[in-house]
Amino acid sequence: MQLKARGYGKAKIISEVWGVSKGGSAKYKAAESEYERLVNEGENE
């Protein structure tokens, strides 16, 4: 949430936090799912 507050985009945040770059890999998809979960959870607080 701190990176999002700094204006980072989804792909940049996933790269910084999970260490995977944008693409169709299973690791990226898993990281993207976790990112979405965290963002949605953070917005609901």
pLDDT tens-place string over residues 13-33 = 999 999 999 988 999 999 999
Alpha helices, DSSP H, located in 1-45: 2-5, 10-18, 26-43
The model's pTM: 0.83
The CA distance from 28 to 18, in Å, is: 8
Please say if the pLDDT value at position 44 is more than 90.
no
The CA distance from 14 to 4, in Å, is: 11
Residue with the bigger pLDDT between 27 and 41: it is: 27
Task: Give the count of domains, the chain.
Answer: 1
**pLDDT score for 13:** 96
Please say if the pLDDT value at position 45 is more than 80.
no
Domain that holds residue 11: 2-43
Please say if the pLDDT value at position 39 is more than 80.
yes
